Amino acid sequence: MNLLVTKRQALAQLVFCQGCCCGRTDRDRPELPVEKLKAAWSAGKLNRTVQLTISGCLGPCDLTNVTAVLTPDEQIWLGGLEGEAVYDAFIQWAKDCHEVGERLPLPELLESHRFERWPTEVEA
């Protein structure tokens, strides 16, 4: 089988959920600052380094404001995201990756929101 190949080789892709629950302030959920994120990506020309995607529902709705960090090496799932500091950390991380031309580790603030999307064992 021949696989398609893309010319767009971003270091990572951030997929922010804005679905049935995430970002829905009308349902008393924390805001997803879409316009702030888009403005930062546009101003810094970050999309070629860290692609920004605003998606529909990604799943684990109980974790509110879910984001997937997709890289060639792994999928990192983050949940329970809220507040200016969290989204500023995403922006700064993308800028830093762009500046050095490589994917850097996520800031500790973001790592603290990490969860296992596909657990191998079910906890009792």
- Dig out the tokens for 43 from the structure: 């101003």
The pLDDT assigned to 8 comes to: 79
Q: Which residue in 68, 62, 75 sits closest to 90, CA to CA?
A: 68
Domain residue ranges of the chain, discontinuous segments joined by +? 13-115
% of the chain surpassing 90 pLDDT: 85
Contact 22, 82 (CB under 8 A): no
Architecture of domain 13-115: 3-Layer(aba) Sandwich (3.40)
Three-state DSSP class for 17?
Answer: strand
15-56 per-position pLDDT tens digit: 999 999 999 999 999 999 999 999 999 999 999 999 999 999
